[in-house]
């Protein structure tokens, strides 16, 4: 845990959030500035600043982020209609909080096609 990281403080319960899921590896909560009707952040409980800070032993944890995303999409009723998963890295990639996190966006047709 990083003492100055807002996501670490949310995971520890020091800052309130609207939590939708938590287990021993990850915590998921609603984004306070949603970009879609469903906008949930899925974060590892272990502080990892960014994608560039991942090491081989984190591979299982990163896979778990994605399986939790699928579980939450089902729970939120957007698994069938579709959703978007985004990880931003660095200032040019739009990363604002330096704690690795996965954005789960859904509940509407996404406006920008990615590929």
Residue 113 lies in a domain: no
* Parent domain of 62: 6-106
**Of 47, 64, 89, 101, which one is the catalytic site residue?**
101
Would you call 28 helix, strand, or coil by DSSP?
strand
The model's pTM:
0.93
Domain tally for the chain? Answer: 1
What confidence score (pLDDT) does residue 1 get? 64
pLDDT score, position 38: 97
Distance of CA 14 to the CA centre of its chain: 18
Specify the CATH number for the domain of residue 46.
3.30.428.10
What's CA 58's distance to the chain center, in Å?
15
3-state secondary structure of 67: helix
pLDDT for res 19: 97
What confidence category does residue 113 fall into, taking pLDDT thresholds of 50, 70 and 90?
A: low
Q: What is the pLDDT of residues 22-65, one digit of tens each?
A: 999 999 999 999 999 999 999 999 999 999 999 999 999 999 99
Answer whether residue 82 is part of any domain. yes
Asked if residue 1 belongs to a domain, the reply is no
101 part of the active site = yes
Cα Rg of the chain (Å, integer)? 14
79: pLDDT confidence band, cut at 50, 70 and 90? very high
| Element housing 85 (H / E) | strand 83-86
46 vs 39: CA distance, rounded Å:
21
Domain-located, residue 79: yes
Alpha helix locations (H) across 35-107?
59-75, 90-93
In angstroms, the Cα distances linking 73 to 28, 43, 80, 91 are: 12, 15, 9, 28
114 in a structural domain: no
The number of angstroms, rounded, from the C-alpha of 108 to the middle of its chain's C-alpha atoms is 18
Q: What percent of the chain has pLDDT over 70?
A: 96
Residue 115 located in a structural domain: no
């Amino acid at each position: 845990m990083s003492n100055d990281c807002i996501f670490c403080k949310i995971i520890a319960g020091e800052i309130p959030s609207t939590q939708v899921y938590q287990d021993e590896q990850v915590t998921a909560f609603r984004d306070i500035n949603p970009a879609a009707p469903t906008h949930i952040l899925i974060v590892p409980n272990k502080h990892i600043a960014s994608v560039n800070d991942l090491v081989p032993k984190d591979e299982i944890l990163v896979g778990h982020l994605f399986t939790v995303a699928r579980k939450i999409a089902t729970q939120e009723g957007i698994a069938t209609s579709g959703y978007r998963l985004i990880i931003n890295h660095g200032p040019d990639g739009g990363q604002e909080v330096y704690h690795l996190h996965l954005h789960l966006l859904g509940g509407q047709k996404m406006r920008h096609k990615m590929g």
